Amino acid sequence: MGCGSSRSGAIVSHDPKYVEVTEAWDRAWETVSAKNGTWKDLSKSLVIKRTGWKTVRIFVSSTFKDFHCERELLVKKVFPDLRVWCENRRLYLVECDLRWGVPTDFTTEATLRACLGEIDRCFQDNVMPFFINMTSERVGWIPMEEEVPEAISSEYSWVRGLSVTEMEILHGAYRTDNPNALFMLRDPSFLKSVPDDQSKAFIDNQPIAQPKLDVLKQRIRSRFPSKRIVNYPVEFLGVNSNTGLPEVHVGEVFSKKVVEFFKERIGAQYPLDKVTSDPYAAQYEAHESFMKSRCDNVIGRRDIIDEIMEYICSEANSVPFLLVGNAGSGKSSIIAKIAEITATRATLKKIPGGGKTGWKVFYHFVGAVPGSTELLKLLMRLVKEIGTVSELPGNLESASQTTTGLLAKTDAPHWIIIVDALNQLDEDTAALINSWIPRNLSRNIRIVLSMIEDTPQHTNFRSRDPPAKEVKVNPLSEQDRREIVDSLLGRYNKRLDNSQMNSLMNKEWSTNPLWLAIACEELRVFGQFRQVSDKINKLEDGLLELEMQVLTRFEEESGGELLVATVSLLEISSRGLLEIELLAILGDEENLMPAEEESAEKS
């Protein structure tokens, strides 16, 4: 198009369109520089000391229409793997993928604010946003000057003349020389195999598009080191018969580089905490991590929480308190919230009746961490933390007897004991599982337990004299359900419009928190903006049915070998497997033998 490059890499052209684009960038950069000064000193000191869990946000920047496949790969494969890695470091990974979530009736101001505001949110959480941009041959939406409201141009004074993707790059990476920014430039050679009737999905025909792309790529290369600018190949696959969208195959270069880069940058900014060599301390930290990861998910349930806290704070409760309900009713999240509230109040000595030393809190989430389903390990943890026994019991019978004695003593130390999912312990009989809890507790002991209603463990406690106190977790109210959906999707800057929310609320099983959480996760990873309403309507209205629908999607998107291996392991295990145990057994997905090959080899 009559343009070349100078030795410095800058584009030289007298084409009015190139001049216009270059002037827009220069104007934006001058405005940013005058307003923000330099970020150099800040970017050199990003190692952040922290305690507890921290949220890490990765902002995904690109045009939408041509990067559907890359975004699908990121959201459904790359980020889930990275999320597991982050969780081992007490980090929540939240990707910011804005393919949908901005309602169609939003104004231009609301749309731009949703995008730029999400980057602001990344700055607030992580000082420098973790940022990935993907660029090819499309520019995307360029708001006209008169389309940009005064409120936006006043707050973000540099946006004039830029496309939304350019705004994202300038705001999230360019202006701060952000060391956490990665740029993936797609090799355009695949376009030779794209039919003419499909090329518009990958090539922008706006007259200003090519100058904008040339200047953008030149600015990226001149601003950022080459190791953070990756050219990657793709292969055109044709049109997907289910979605009607043209697709490309994205090779290993893309996934590998993204994972490597963000592991390096996240690890540098949030170093791994020192690992304790004390197995009991490690167990405590694992249960604490689970508690903190679940306690923020509680919306509503105020009456239940108040009733349990009244039991904990009341005097002379001689029986345990049971939280019962159906599978997926939200018991674990409520118990996590109770543990958090109780631990905080105990630390501040705001629970009455604790004497001079105050109350201590023990919590255990059965099935949450390795070894947590064994009653012996639970009791040994408890006895060790209470700390009044010189020698730990060596078998389940002696551990149960020791614990019963400790919890019934008149002068027992002040302890609040919280155990989630008691019915999931490995032992075979309810009497054995419940045997460590005396019929009459010391006045210095409080015990809160959760379990599925009408299980043998629940029936055993009901038959005691005196019987345990209990409260049932009832189905969610519509207001609570709406708040949960807003919270779960809002974390990823997504929201349903009124019609979509009503469709979801009309599902009979939306009163079940687990069903609702799975449904929101399915919507979160769904990448087709115009088909969200249809996706909601097609969600199976039943917990097992929805889980089967999710597994079917996994099989269709990732192939059957990994899914078959996973469900086979769960089927042959005696008590199920934890996620961390499954990951360790399955190992590298590439080493799994396809079922048909395995059958042929055995024959």
CATH at 349: 3.40.50.300
Reported as a single tens digit per residue, the pLDDT across 304-318 is 999 999 999 998 789
The answer as to whether 31 is a domain residue is no
**475 pLDDT band (50/70/90 cuts)?**
very high
Return the higher-pLDDT residue of 28 and 409: 409
Judge whether residue 5 has pLDDT over 70: no
Handedness of CA 296, 298, 299, 305 (dihedral sign): negative
User: Please, which residues bridge with residue 470 across strands?
Assistant: 322
Judge whether residue 3 has pLDDT over 60: no
Residues 102 and 182 in one domain: yes
Q: What is the CATH number of the domain that holds 237?
A: 3.40.50
| pLDDT average, residue stretch 196-222 | 92
The answer as to whether 524 is a domain residue is yes
Which of 472, 503, 529 is the last residue in one of the domains?
472
**26 pLDDT band (50/70/90 cuts)?**
confident
Look at the block and give the residue holding tokens 């956490």: 180
Look at the block and give the residue holding tokens 């295990």: 573
| pLDDT average, residue stretch 425-431 | 81
Q: Which of 7-16, 237-246, 261-270, 557-566 reaches the highest mean pLDDT?
A: 261-270
Q: Could you tell me if 247 and 198 are in contact, meaning their C-beta atoms sit under 8 angstroms apart?
A: no
Q: How many domains does the chain have?
A: 3
Residues 244 and 335 in one domain: no
The answer as to whether 7 is a domain residue is no
User: Please, which residues bridge with residue 349 across strands?
Assistant: none
**How distant, in Å, are the alpha carbons of 17, 202, 205 from that of 3?**
11, 22, 18
Residue 245: which domain range? 52-205+218-269
Quick one: pLDDT at residue 314?
A: 92
Which of 441, 472, 503 is the last residue in one of the domains?
472
Residues 259 and 359 in one domain: no
Six-digit token pair at 245? 């969208």
Reported as a single tens digit per residue, the pLDDT across 488-510 is 999 888 989 999 999 999 999 99
Residues 265 and 305 in one domain: no
Residues 495 and 520 in one domain: yes
Residues 324 and 257 in one domain: no
Residues 171 and 192 in one domain: yes
User: Please, which residues bridge with residue 92 across strands?
Assistant: 55
For 263-289, letters b (16+ CB in 10 Å) and e give: eebbeebbeeeeeeeeeeeebbbbbbb
Residues 438 and 567 in one domain: no
**590 pLDDT band (50/70/90 cuts)?**
low
Residues 320 and 173 in one domain: no
**How would you class 466 by CB atoms within 10 Å of its CB: exposed for 0-12, middle for 13-18, buried for 19 or more?**
exposed
CA distance 47 to 269: 4
Return the higher-pLDDT residue of 254 and 175: 254
Calculate the average pLDDT of the chain: 87
Quick one: pLDDT at residue 530?
A: 84
For 433-446, letters b (16+ CB in 10 Å) and e give: bbbbbbeebbebbb
Residues 443 and 312 in one domain: yes
Six-digit token pair at 411? 């002068």
Reported as a single tens digit per residue, the pLDDT across 442-467 is 999 999 999 999 999 999 999 999 99
The answer as to whether 128 is a domain residue is yes
Which of 414, 441, 472 is the last residue in one of the domains?
472
CA distance 149 to 163: 15
CA distance 595 to 603: 12
Residues 262 and 296 in one domain: no
Residues 302 and 353 in one domain: yes
Reported as a single tens digit per residue, the pLDDT across 107-152 is 888 888 889 999 999 999 898 999 999 999 999 998 888 888 888 9
Judge whether residue 163 has pLDDT over 50: yes
